[in-house]
Structure 1
């Protein structure tokens, strides 16, 4: 296995699934009554939470599957199908079905009290589940369960660190990026990410099928 190539795929998959660009509007809504310093704290805490979740499941992913007596191949196929459904939904401009549509219609408006803890906002709902949800967690477990050495696990954690840093940078420039991209730009970006995610999900499914049916690898 080309470790560098696999980690690049993981970073791509996590970036699309976490999609910090899709969290721009919710971040701006949640922090509209907060100071610049508090907004930085929210961005920092959210990104750190994403990194902690990725690290946790990178370390425990293989163990979780063993406890549940689920084979790596089966989880790869199941997780790959979940990721593929998310990708199809994104390409159809329906967003990520594994994440809540907070603030997207009149029935789900966000109402944040001025004195609500910035740290609390950062963890729930911004980091979990708006940024790192079932799709992202499943993808980390898939790669962690397929890891053969500690070096592989460390690489997954390093990928999580890179993705978290990108999330932090994106949130820090949220206002400018949101106005620059606009609704149309975000929609186009979302569909492009959906296509990339579909390609990654197919590879995950194929890897799972090869693990279940070794003769397919011949």
Structure 2
């Protein structure tokens, strides 16, 4: 159980990438008051948490309706996580997030008001990587107790993201751009290894049924 909880916390931390989201959030909220930034951060984390929670219990049903096996999704999900890891290693992910943020800001004032939902909650926090990880981890969790640990790991990460976003400017000034990039690359390397493990597990499951 402890291994599952620690693994889930790490996976969610890497795919949500709060360190990478932080500078994007700061750019998105320029010109907002401290109270408005807190509101955006809190609402974004709540919405992302709800989306991930729903996908945890209904994502499998959705795959079944489409005729997709969990093993196939595990292989595809591992491949997706590997691509995310490559982006993190070569700093492409931060550039993509900034582009998404810029797209939201370039819209009308009314559309940009609710940036807590787009792009903060979706796709920056509850993006494809986080949704895939949620489904894969829930699939590996035997029983209600283990599934509760996966949800707890997600909640812990959401709380951490919220703390980082609320104190974003102060943290960014202290860490500096170089350290943020270094942390992102180390996490990307570890995520790549974990993604390969997901792919291997999926292949072994398919081979076991043949």
Pairs within 5 Å for 1:130-149: 130-149=124-143
* Partner deviation per Cα, 1:3-32 (whole Å, 9 max, x = no partner): 331232222111111111111122112222
For 2:65, which of 67, 75, 78 is the aligned residue? 67
CA distance in 1, matches of 2:53, 2:165: 21
* Partner deviation per Cα, 1:74-94 (whole Å, 9 max, x = no partner): 111111011011112211222
* Partner deviation per Cα, 1:55-113 (whole Å, 9 max, x = no partner): 1111112212221121111111111011011112211222269x544278xx8694587
Counterpart of 2:90 in structure 1 is: 92
Q: Normalized against structure 1, the TM-score is what?
A: 0.85
CA distance in 2, matches of 1:50, 1:85: 22
State the secondary structure of the residue aligned to 2:31: coil
For 1:150, which of 144, 156, 171 is the aligned residue? 144
Counterpart of 1:200 in structure 2 is: 194
Unaligned runs of 5+ in 2: none
For 1:19, which of 4, 17, 20 is the aligned residue? 17
What is the RMSD of the two structures over their aligned residues, measured on CA atoms?
Answer: 2.6
The answer as to whether partners of 1:61 and 1:145 remain within 8 angstroms in 2 is no
- In proportion to residue count, which structure has more helix? 2
Counterpart of 2:178 in structure 1 is: 184
Pairs within 5 Å for 1:97-176: 100-102=97-99, 110-111=105-106, 120-176=114-170
CA distance in 1, matches of 2:189, 2:174: 23
Pairs within 5 Å for 1:71-82: 71-82=69-80
Find runs of 4+ consecutive structure 1 residues off by over 6 angstroms. Answer: 112-117
Structure 1 pair 148–63 and aligned structure 2 pair: CA distance change class (3 A): farther
CA distance in 2, matches of 1:199, 1:127: 26
CA distance in 1, matches of 2:27, 2:94: 19
The answer as to whether partners of 1:61 and 1:144 remain within 8 angstroms in 2 is no
CA positional deviation for 1:51: 1.2
Q: Normalized against structure 2, the TM-score is what?
A: 0.88
CA positional deviation for 1:137: 0.7
